[in-house]
């Protein structure tokens, strides 16, 4: 089992923020990445549609012999992780807004979460807030349109900068000193978010902790690949030129599109 690949998926390029950490932490592992660009964005879709997509992609990854799957998407984790874990027997690692670490760091006792509408409206976030957020104030910001703008890959875009400013500034004005990136697309523009938040604000990117959790699970089951250098191939379900360009610019292998019939 040790030589089998690890599957990673997101709606688009967002999960590459996690893939990067996995590649650094587990350089021996073979990785298959899927961007479900035919259904991007997930954040405005129903729980049922997101669950169906997550299920379909996991089935595909298992048909490619994956020994573990990383749901590199907060929205899909929120909508589907319980179902995925009960349907499939391989270790499935998800990602959720990092309220726990934010609570430990905030001085003002006010934290902000930037995420999609679906993540902010999901039961998972409510449960996290119950568990870790009782003695702090948690402000939400749904970032409509930001995922789509990040997917376009133009970091200089005025519209991208305007959106970030619109979403970040009101939180800072309300006393937020710790900002949680609750969508895997956002670490890709972490420096821009930091710029609009200001130097005194701590921006929390949970990508490394997801990679560490994956390593922990592989170690427990003793299914990690022991040597050699791992390969990475990235596929998409749609045919987005911007996805292809981003993958190639990131020096990753681009697999032929329309791998899974949308
Ligand atoms: N990157 C995803 C997340 O972490 C989903 C973004 C989207 O497709 O709306 O929530």
* CATH number assigned to the domain comprising residue 140: 3.40.50.1860
The 10s digit of each residue's pLDDT in 169-218 is 999 999 999 999 999 999 999 999 999 999 999 999 999 999 999 999 99
C-alpha 117/C-alpha 51 separation (Å) is 16
The domain total for the chain is 2
Asked whether residue 76 falls in the same domain as residue 110, the answer is no
> Which residue of 73, 79, 114, 180 sits with most ligand 1 atoms within 8 Å of its CB, as the best mutation to test the pocket?
73
Asked whether residue 158 falls in the same domain as residue 118, the answer is yes
Say whether 73 is catalytic. yes
Asked whether residue 133 falls in the same domain as residue 200, the answer is yes
Q: Determine the distance from the C-alpha atom of residue 218 to the mean position of all C-alpha atoms in its chain, rounded to a whole number.
A: 20
CB-CB neighbours of 243 under 10 Å? 24
Choosing from 162, 189, 204, the residue where a domain stops is 204
Q: Residue 204 — φ and ψ, nearest 5°?
A: -105, 120
Asked whether residue 90 falls in the same domain as residue 12, the answer is yes
What residue has token string 């979460």? 113
pLDDT at 107: 97
Closest CA to 67 of 218, 229, 259, 220: 218
Q: Residue 120 — φ and ψ, nearest 5°?
A: -70, -25
Going from the Cα of 228 to the center of ligand 1, the distance in angstroms, rounded, reads 32
Domain of 112, in residue numbers: 99-204
Closest CA to 110 of 147, 131, 140, 154: 140
Going from the Cα of 73 to the center of ligand 1, the distance in angstroms, rounded, reads 5
Choosing from 186, 204, 222, the residue where a domain stops is 204
pTM of the predicted structure, to 2 decimals: 0.96
C-alpha 79/C-alpha 50 separation (Å) is 7
Asked if residue 1 is part of any domain, the answer here is: no
Asked whether residue 83 falls in the same domain as residue 138, the answer is no
In the DSSP assignment, the letter for residue 11 is: S
- Cα angle for residues 234, 236, 237 (degrees, 5° grid): 150
Q: Tokens standing for 54?
A: 């997550």
Residue 112 near ligand 1, beta carbon < 6 Å: no
Asked whether residue 89 falls in the same domain as residue 211, the answer is yes
Asked if residue 141 is part of any domain, the answer here is: yes
Asked if residue 71 is part of any domain, the answer here is: yes
Residue 40 near ligand 1, beta carbon < 6 Å: yes
Which ligand 1 atom is the nearest neighbour of the CA of 73? 4
pLDDT at 1: 78
Q: Tokens standing for 94?
A: 């998800």
Asked if residue 261 is part of any domain, the answer here is: no
Which ligand 1 atom is the nearest neighbour of the CA of 183? 4
Which ligand 1 atom is the nearest neighbour of the CA of 95? 4
Asked if residue 16 is part of any domain, the answer here is: yes
Asked if residue 262 is part of any domain, the answer here is: no
Asked whether residue 19 falls in the same domain as residue 40, the answer is yes
Asked whether residue 195 falls in the same domain as residue 216, the answer is no
> Which residue of 15, 116, 186, 204 sits with most ligand 1 atoms within 8 Å of its CB, as the best mutation to test the pocket?
116
Asked if residue 67 is part of any domain, the answer here is: yes
Residue 181 near ligand 1, beta carbon < 6 Å: no
The 10s digit of each residue's pLDDT in 23-72 is 999 999 999 999 999 999 999 999 999 999 999 999 999 999 999 999 99
Asked whether residue 189 falls in the same domain as residue 139, the answer is yes
C-alpha 170/C-alpha 155 separation (Å) is 22
Residue 41 near ligand 1, beta carbon < 6 Å: yes
Query: What 3-state class would DSSP assign to 113?
Result: strand
Asked whether residue 108 falls in the same domain as residue 193, the answer is yes
The 10s digit of each residue's pLDDT in 6-25 is 999 999 999 999 999 999 99
pLDDT at 256: 79
Asked if residue 27 is part of any domain, the answer here is: yes
The 10s digit of each residue's pLDDT in 132-177 is 998 999 999 999 999 999 999 999 999 999 999 999 999 999 999 9
pLDDT at 20: 97
C-alpha 72/C-alpha 210 separation (Å) is 8
CB-CB neighbours of 209 under 10 Å? 16
C-alpha 201/C-alpha 194 separation (Å) is 7
Residue 119 near ligand 1, beta carbon < 6 Å: yes
Q: What is the mean pLDDT of residues 123-128?
A: 94
C-alpha 116/C-alpha 95 separation (Å) is 13
Residue 207 near ligand 1, beta carbon < 6 Å: no
Asked whether residue 91 falls in the same domain as residue 213, the answer is yes
Instruction: Output the DSSP codes for 189-231.
Output: GHHHHHHHH-TTSEEE--HHHHHHHHHHHHHHHT----SS---
Asked whether residue 26 falls in the same domain as residue 91, the answer is yes
Residue 10 near ligand 1, beta carbon < 6 Å: yes
């Amino acid at each position: 089992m040790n030589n089998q690949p690890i599957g990673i998926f997101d709606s688009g390029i967002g999960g590459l923020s996690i893939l990067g950490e996995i590649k650094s932490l587990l350089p021996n592992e073979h990785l298959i990445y899927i961007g479900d660009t035919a259904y991007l964005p997930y954040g405005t879709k129903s729980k049922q549609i997101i669950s169906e997509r997550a299920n379909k992609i996991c089935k595909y990854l298992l048909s490619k012999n994956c020994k573990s799957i990383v749901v590199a998407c907060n929205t899909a984790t929120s909508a589907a992780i319980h179902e995925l874990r009960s349907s499939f027997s391989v270790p499935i690692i998800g990602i959720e807004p990092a309220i726990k670490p934010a609570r430990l760091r905030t001085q003002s006792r006010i934290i902000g979460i930037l995420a999609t509408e679906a993540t902010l409206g999901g039961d998972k976030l409510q449960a996290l807030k119950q568990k870790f957020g009782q003695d702090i104030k948690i402000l939400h910001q749904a970032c409509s349109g930001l995922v789509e703008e990040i997917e376009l890959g133009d970091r200089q875009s005025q519209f991208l900068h305007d959106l970030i400013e619109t979403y970040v500034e009101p939180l800072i004005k309300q006393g937020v000193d710790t900002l949680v990136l609750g969508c895997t697309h956002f670490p890709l523009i972490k420096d821009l978010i930091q710029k609009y938040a200001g130097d005194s604000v701590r921006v929390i990117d949970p990508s490394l902790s997801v990679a560490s959790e994956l390593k922990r699970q592989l170690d427990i089951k003793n299914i990690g690949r022991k040597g050699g250098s791992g390969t990475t191939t990235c596929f998409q379900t749609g045919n987005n030129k911007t996805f292809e360009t981003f993958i190639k610019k990131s020096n990753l292998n681009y697999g032929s599109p329309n791998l899974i019939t949308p």
